[in-house]
Every structure is written in C-alpha cells, then in structure tokens.
Amino acid sequence: MIGRFRKNNKVFFGTVEGDTVKSDSSEYKLLELKILPPTVPTKIVCTGLNYIDHANELNYPIPKWPILFIKPSTTVIGHMENIEYPAMSSQVEYEGEMAIVISKKCKNVKDPEAVILGYTGINDVTARDIQRKDGQWTRAKSFDTFAPIGPFIATDIDPGDARIETRVNGTTRQKSNTKNLIFDVNDLVRFISEVMTLNAGDVIATGTPYGVGELVIGDTVEIEIEGAGVLSNNVIRAQ
C-alpha cells in the first residue's frame, strides 16, 4: 500500500508494510507519522447511483450511463481528521465508497489499467436535506471536509471483487462488494476520460451501496475497503 505522510515539516510518500513505512532509504514506525490524504486531487469525479441496491433504496431508475458530479478539492481531508457538520444543514449523511486514484494525465483512455495508480476509501459526505431542496447535488456535496479520503492506496487488489463496509460508532451500516457495481472501474475511467482530462492524483469515486444514513455530531464513521485500510473520521460542529 502507498501512503502520504508528514513527520515534522517533511511531507512524503511511502510504502506501508504492517506498522512500518518505507520511503527512499528511510524507515519509520507508522505511529510516529501523521497520515495525510494519500493523494492531492485537482478534482474528485463522483458516480451517482452505481449500485443497484442504492438506486432501489432511493427509488431511482437504474441509470443507462454513469451519472457524474464533481466535488471540489477543498472537500478533502485525511484519516483521523474531522468532518465538520455545517450550520445550514440538519441532515448530513455518510456514503462509503471505493475510489480510483489516477496515476498520470490522460484523456480518451483505451486501457484503464495503464492510468490507475490504485484504490482507496472515500466518504462522499452529503447534506441530504440540501440535496432535496436544490434538486441538484453541488452545494450538498461540496462543504469543506465532505470528502475524507484514505488511509492508503492499495495497488494490488481486485477492484471488481473488493469488500466495502461502513461503520458508525462500531456498528456496520453498509456492507457490500464492488462486484455489485453497475459500471465497473474500467467503464468509469473510459467514460469519464471521454468527457474531461484526468490529472495525476485525481480521484474517481465509484458510488455507494445500500445503507446510507445520518451522522450526528460526536459520531465516528469508518470506511473500510478490503486491502486499503480503514478510514476513520469524527463528526464535529462546524466553527
């Protein structure tokens, strides 16, 4: 797994092996490092309604092509950073997802494997009441801290058969497998790259399964993608 870390004033990428991080000729204990978001995207391209059970949960028809929206880079936080509950919302919800991390600038991709660095967890936090009011998704998805990403990038998992689980205060709320995706990883990279140029470090969120639900101030939410670690964040009141 690949991670991004800070020690004192030094920010660096490293390879995670158990509780050890190796970077160039240096070796660190994971506990002595600050875990940062494992990528610095210029954009997060999200996929709506990409699990059949989630589309049914919301009473929406199964899409015939990927439904896309974008979260700004200012939504990104890392493992153990706080999700801030905005004052203008009264219904903030989690959406646990597997995310694709792009390795290099690309457009009109024919071979998705050639441009994928790996996979990580993302929480597509959403102000559901605002989503309903607006009738579209930008404001509801774009508050600062509404895209926890991480903790690490898995480079050797099967993205078509990876377990995904969301827990709130230790209780499982979502449990599925990426084999239930309507549009798989290759479909998404090809489709999105026909629309827009993808830059190195950009993130594609592949959609959330059945079981989305509310978060309240004080909650701890965990997103686990098989082979990529557990992304954990607390919910606090926005200042």
Which residues are bridge partners to 21 per DSSP? 16, 28
User: Where in the chain are the domains?
Assistant: 1-36, 37-237
Element (H, E) at 128: helix 128-134
- Mean pLDDT for all residues in the chain: 95
Please check the confidence at residue 53 and state whether its pLDDT lies above 80: no
Q: What percent of the chain has pLDDT over 70?
A: 100
How far is 190 from 185, CA to CA, in rounded Å?
9
Q: Tell the CATH topology of 37-237.
A: Fumarylacetoacetate hydrolase; domain 2 (3.90.850)
Q: What is the 3-state secondary structure (H, E, C) of 137-191?
A: CHHHHCCCCCEEEEEEEECCCCCCCCEEEEEECCEEEEEEEHHHECCCHHHHHHH
Question: How many CA atoms does the CB half-sphere of 110 hold within 13 Å?
Answer: 0
CATH of 1-36, one of 2.30.30, 3.40.50, 2.170.130, 1.10.10: 2.30.30
* 157-207 pLDDT per residue, tens: 999 999 999 999 999 999 999 999 999 999 999 999 999 999 999 999 999
Query: pTM of whole model > 0.85?
Result: yes
Pairing of β 220-225 and β 230-237? antiparallel
